[in-house]
Structure 1
Amino acid sequence: MKVMRLCILLMAMSMLPSMIAKKHWAYDAHATFYGDMSGAETMKGACGYGDLFKDGYGLRTAALSTALFEDGAACGACYEIECVNSPKWCAPRRRISITATNFCPPNPALPNDAGGWCNPPRKHFDLSMPMFVEITKDYHAGIVPVRYRRVPCFKRGGVRFELKGNPHFLLVLVYNVAGAGDVRAVRVKGERTEWMWMQRNWGQNWHLHGQPQLVGQALSFRVTVSKHRSVSSDNVAPAHWQFGQTVEGKQF
């Protein structure tokens, strides 16, 4: 019995390094920056979040290259990033956590080593300048090699739904999502309807076409993220909701 216990203990100890490595394992990529330290040129657009300060994302953001963006499915995902393998430029033991809020478009006219850093198949993060200088010694570094990994998102308040469109076309921006952060499916339900699947329109804007009966009904939303977790916010929009209104539901 003692021999068996010893064998089990030795097996567990031999597995420990690989378990630790798996927990801290990260992918390789590159990073650069846009704008200046003021954040005046904070990028917005491809995910639909609009005013990144008003919407709670601020400067802790990045635009992702094609290989990471997933046609908008990665919008809202959070990443931990550190500069590596460049002693001249990397600030040692410095990491940042950012939210994906935009797309860094490829430039087919340029090779990858001459400015085409967002070209497929490269994995690249275009950071706000304040985030870039947190992991580098100087912004003159320009482009640095990094390691990254997905991490949970931490947000204040609940998931937010911005109601847009018209009586025949409901468009909903889903943002401020904690946990996995990246929304992979959305369903909507009126007081007198069943659950209906919405389609990704662009970024994290989701639409439902040809459902005028939803106007005048309280709306419920069910959001699913990449970790296959779903949260339902029942009757989060009151029956008198208006286009242009933002409502707040439950959080992950």
Structure 2
Amino acid sequence: MGSFQCFLAILGLVLLPVLCISQDTFTRSRATYYGSPNCYGNPTGACGYGEYGRTVNDGQVSAVARLWRNGTGCGGCYQVRCIYPPHCSNDGVNVVVTDYGEGDRTDFIFTPKAYTKLANSPASTEILFAYGVVDIEFRRIPCQYSTPNLVFKVHEHSKFPLYLAIVIQYVAGQNDIIAVEVWQEDCKAWVGLRKVYGAVWDTQNPPCGSIDLRFQVSGSAGLQWVQAPKAIPIDWKAGAAYTSAIQLT
């Protein structure tokens, strides 16, 4: 499906508002887009989000380079608007970072679905796609999902009961996960998980029984540890996603 066809296909959709706007100042940069057969994201993106990374925020997602921050930037939300007044919408697009990608002095490489939102009309959409790279301004904004609770996804590469890798999904607010630890009952201590890549954390020695996690959050409230008792059940399975009772703001 072509880029302009993607625009026409989404005109009739009613999208849930999943992001809200902060009052931070905008930064100038550039943005482009990458090819996608269905206008959605990449299920093999460098954040390790899988299918979540393809469809979160209705596919309005982006790869970044400078904002990647060794994977800590995964899941960050940004408002981006282009600065060609005749062609650009006032609000632009709100995107979620799900991948790493370097462009021609760009900070964002959008899915076609996200890039379309920069324009103010179908005619302008064609013009922006023809440009390929556009000047933009952006700011970090808090994420606010229709799914309010954190989800602990067991990565597909996990092997019960010997190897566990996890990804934390639906991190709301303007928060970054910078460390994850697991409770080891045998030694009565919190033990750090290894950051594998992107937003994927793992351990070669997962505890028996249900798994207690805690993670360090960097956000508007500063640094804080958030504990998740029995975050992952005793009979966890690779590929399964477990919803917690935790909500970040």
TM superposition score category, shorter chain reference: 0.7 to 0.9
- Of 205, 210, 214, the match for 1:218: 210
Q: 1:221-232 counterparts in 2 under 5 A?
A: 221-227=213-219, 228-232=223-227
Counterpart in 2 of 1:111? none
Q: Give aligned-pair identity as a percent.
A: 25
Q: Which has the larger radius of gyration?
A: 1
Unpaired stretches in structure 1, ≥5 consecutive residues: 1-21, 106-115
Instruction: Note if contact 1:46-1:103 (Cα within 8 Å) is conserved in structure 2.
Output: yes
Instruction: Note if contact 1:181-1:225 (Cα within 8 Å) is conserved in structure 2.
Output: yes
Q: 1:58-137 counterparts in 2 under 5 A?
A: 58-65=58-65, 67-84=66-83, 86-88=84-86, 90-105=87-102, 116-117=103-104, 122-136=105-119, 137=124
Asked if residue 251 in structure 1 is aligned to residue 247 in structure 2, the reply is yes
- What's the Cα RMSD here? 2.6
Once residues 154 and 165 of structure 2 are traced to their aligned partners in structure 1, the CA distance between those partners, rounded to angstroms, is 6
Counterpart in 2 of 1:49? 49
Counterpart in 1 of 2:163? 169
Counterpart in 1 of 2:141? 151
Unpaired stretches in structure 2, ≥5 consecutive residues: 1-21
Asked if residue 189 in structure 1 is aligned to residue 172 in structure 2, the reply is no
SS at match of 1:52: helix
Q: Which amino acid aligns with 1:132?
A: Y
Instruction: Note if contact 1:36-1:130 (Cα within 8 Å) is conserved in structure 2.
Output: no
SS at match of 1:154: coil
**How far is the alpha carbon of 1:224 from its aligned partner?**
2.4
Once residues 248 and 91 of structure 1 are traced to their aligned partners in structure 2, the CA distance between those partners, rounded to angstroms, is 38
**Aligned in 2, Cα 1:36/1:204: closer, same or farther, shift over 3 Å?**
closer
**Aligned in 2, Cα 1:36/1:244: closer, same or farther, shift over 3 Å?**
closer
SS at match of 1:158: coil
Counterpart in 2 of 1:240? 235
Instruction: Note if contact 1:62-1:126 (Cα within 8 Å) is conserved in structure 2.
Output: yes
**Aligned in 2, Cα 1:134/1:40: closer, same or farther, shift over 3 Å?**
closer
Instruction: Note if contact 2:40-2:113 (Cα within 8 Å) is conserved in structure 1.
Output: no
**Aligned in 2, Cα 1:196/1:178: closer, same or farther, shift over 3 Å?**
same
SS at match of 2:139: strand
Once residues 173 and 23 of structure 2 are traced to their aligned partners in structure 1, the CA distance between those partners, rounded to angstroms, is 17
TM-score, reference length from structure 2: 0.74
Q: Which amino acid aligns with 1:160?
A: V
**Aligned in 2, Cα 1:63/1:230: closer, same or farther, shift over 3 Å?**
same
SS at match of 1:236: strand
**How far is the alpha carbon of 1:55 from its aligned partner?**
6.2
**How far is the alpha carbon of 1:190 from its aligned partner?**
4.8
Instruction: Note if contact 1:182-1:225 (Cα within 8 Å) is conserved in structure 2.
Output: yes
**How far is the alpha carbon of 1:130 from its aligned partner?**
2.0
Would you say how many aligned residue pairs link Structure 1 and Structure 2?
211
